[in-house]
């Protein structure tokens, strides 16, 4: 729909290096582009050059072109929706009524460097208990043998199945290897678990929780007939606390859960450094990457001018209202969308202001 008001001003800055979809916020080796949008288009990247493409046909002609996002004028607004790559909000550009940062919600996915965490649980009051849905992002329905089917636990070789210790099928194994007792599996998983306890954080990590036979990954929790049961028993802290669950497809990285308590009211640092309250051992994470704060019953995350940024996943269309602006990261390109009156030119640091 035609937008007769201010055009959408797009400032795009692309890092020259293609590395895990990261953008280096400290690098000067970047390519800049200023675009004004008045019609529906697709923002694309060819090499290091960002441009607007008005025709889908033109975009399909070159396999080297990366579609970044769709832009549509709607009345006095503009909508922006990601294409193939995930679109992330850049937290260092965001503000709340409590100051810089982003107020976290359950289900949010945040990214520090190339490391992603899902906010599995937020508890700010003592009447909120840590339920069996702590890891609901990795829940799996499991099969339990019926009365006519004979199942044998592949660990203890016993066929007994009780309410507190049922035979379950939590992976893709079949035949005589199909079933395993819940408690037998839990004991095996706990033997592979490592924990790290600091003043404010309990970290549980597993180098691998894959089935050694079929190689499928065991879920954090299992469900059957509407009931959900944790495979991992984790310590329950006092409120307020937040649970960050590691997500991603990198088989070489640790799967883990960070349970962060803020009972003493102190800010919590996340980073690669030994002094960080929540330590994240990845080279793309800065030594003091981000800070978690508990303010007015809410959890706020703030970026500490990290090298590769702190981001939050965008699941829906972005609506850009008149006289407003939004900054997103799509792969190695950071894009600022604004309908404010702009000065000519673009500065590599100005896009983050």
pLDDT per position as a tens digit, 224-267: 656 677 787 777 788 899 989 888 755 545 568 888 988 777 89
Q: What are phi and psi of 351, to 5 degrees?
A: -65, -25
pTM: 0.80
Give CA–CA dist 18/270, Å, rounded. 25
CATH number of the domain where residue 248 is located: 2.60.200
Same domain, residue pair 115 and 261: yes
Domain membership flag for residue 147: yes
Same domain, residue pair 56 and 117: no
Among 182, 201, 235, identify where a domain stops. Answer: 235
Q: What are phi and psi of 137, to 5 degrees?
A: -75, -15
Which pLDDT score is estimated for 222? 78
Which CA distances in Å does 173 have to 120, 142, 159, 176? Answer: 28, 12, 17, 9
Give residues with Cβ within 8 angstroms of 235, minimum separation 6.
202, 259
109-112: strand order across its sheet: 30-37, 8-15, 333-338, 325-330, 87-90, 310-313, 109-112, 115-123, 241-247, 255-261, 201-206, 193-197
Which pLDDT score is estimated for 44? 94
Same domain, residue pair 19 and 62: yes
Same domain, residue pair 23 and 62: yes
Domain membership flag for residue 2: no
Domain membership flag for residue 206: no
Same domain, residue pair 58 and 123: no
Which CA distances in Å does 247 have to 111, 113, 162, 200? Answer: 10, 13, 32, 22
The residues of the chain scoring below 70 in pLDDT are 1-5, 55-62, 126-150, 207, 224-227, 249-255, 340-353
Give CA–CA dist 4/10, Å, rounded. 17
Give CA–CA dist 339/141, Å, rounded. 47
Give CA–CA dist 30/333, Å, rounded. 9
Domain membership flag for residue 199: no
Same domain, residue pair 97 and 125: yes
Domain membership flag for residue 201: no
Q: For 116-147, how does the pLDDT look when each residue is reduced to its tens digit (9 = 90+)?
A: 999 988 988 755 544 444 434 455 556 665 55
> 200, 206, 213: which is closest to 242 by C-alpha?
200
Give strand pairing partners of 47.
none
Domain membership flag for residue 205: no
Q: Which domain holds residue 343?
A: 8-86+316-352
Q: Which residues of 234-265 are buried (b: 16+ CB within 10 A; e: fewer)?
A: beebebbbbbbbbbeeeeeebbbbbbbbbeee
Give CA–CA dist 261/268, Å, rounded. 9
Same domain, residue pair 156 and 175: yes
3-class secondary structure per residue, the chain: CCCCCCCEEEEEEEECCCCCCCCCCCCCCEEEEEEEECCCEEEEEECCEEEEECCHHHHHCCCCCEEEEEEEEECCEEEEEECCCCEEEEHHHCEECCEECEECCCCCEEEECCEEEEEEEEECCCCCCCCCCCCHHHEEECECCCCCCCCCCCCCCCCCCCCCCCEEECCCCCHHHCCEEHHHHHHHHHHCEEEEECCCEEEEEECCCECCCCCCECCCEEEECCEEEECCCCCCCCCCEEEEEEECCCCCCCEEEEEEECCCCCCEEEECCCCCCEECCCCCCCCCCEEEEEECCEEEEEECCCCCCEEEECCCCEEECCCCEEEEEECCEEEEEECCCCCCCCCCCHHHC
Same domain, residue pair 82 and 100: no
Same domain, residue pair 249 and 227: no
Same domain, residue pair 78 and 158: no
CATH number of the domain where residue 180 is located: 3.30.40
Give CA–CA dist 36/121, Å, rounded. 41
Same domain, residue pair 247 and 114: yes
Among 177, 201, 235, identify where a domain stops. Answer: 235
Same domain, residue pair 102 and 115: yes
Tell me how many domains the chain contains: 3
């Amino acid at each position: 729909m035609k937008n007769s008001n201010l055009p959408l001003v797009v400032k795009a800055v692309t890092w020259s290096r293609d590395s895990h979809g990261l953008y280096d916020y400290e690098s000067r080796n970047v390519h800049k582009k200023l675009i004004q949008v008045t019609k529906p288009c697709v923002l694309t990247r060819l090499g290091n050059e960002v441009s607007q493409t008005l025709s889908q046909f033109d975009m399909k002609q070159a396999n080297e072109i990366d579609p970044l996002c769709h832009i549509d004028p709607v009345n006095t607004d503009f909508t922006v929706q990601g294409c193939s790559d995930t679109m992330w909000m850049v937290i260092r550009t965001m503000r709340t009524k409590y100051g810089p940062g982003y107020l976290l919600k359950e289900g949010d996915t945040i990214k520090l460097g190339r490391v992603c965490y899902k906010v599995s649980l937020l508890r700010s009051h003592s009447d909120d208990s840590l339920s069996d849905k702590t890891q609901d992002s990795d829940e799996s329905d499991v099969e339990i043998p019926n009365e006519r089917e004979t199942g044998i636990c592949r660990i203890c070789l016993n066929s007994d199945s009780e309410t507190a210790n049922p035979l379950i099928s939590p992976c893709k194994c079949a035949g005589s290897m199909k079933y395993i007792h819940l408690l037998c599996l839990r004991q095996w998983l706990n033997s592979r678990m490592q924990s790290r306890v600091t003043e404010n954080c309990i970290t549980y990590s597993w180098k691998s929780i894959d089935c050694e036979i079929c190689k499928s990954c065991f879920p954090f929790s299992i469900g059957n007939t509407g009931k959900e049961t944790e495979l991992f028993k984790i310590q329950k802290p006092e409120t307020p606390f937040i649970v960050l669950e590691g997500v991603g497809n990198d088989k070489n990285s640790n799967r883990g859960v960070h349970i962060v308590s803020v009972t003493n009211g102190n800010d919590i640092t996340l980073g690669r450094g030994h002094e960080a309250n929540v330590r994240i051992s990845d080279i793309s994470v800065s030594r003091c990457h981000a800070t978690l704060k508990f303010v007015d019953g809410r959890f706020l995350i703030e970026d500490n001018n990290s090298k590769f940024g702190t981001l939050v996943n965008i699941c829906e269309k972005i609506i850009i209202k008149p006289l407003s602006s939004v900054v997103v990261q799509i792969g190695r390109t950071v894009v600022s969308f604004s309908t404010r009156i702009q000065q000519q030119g673009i500065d590599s640091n100005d896009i983050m202001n």
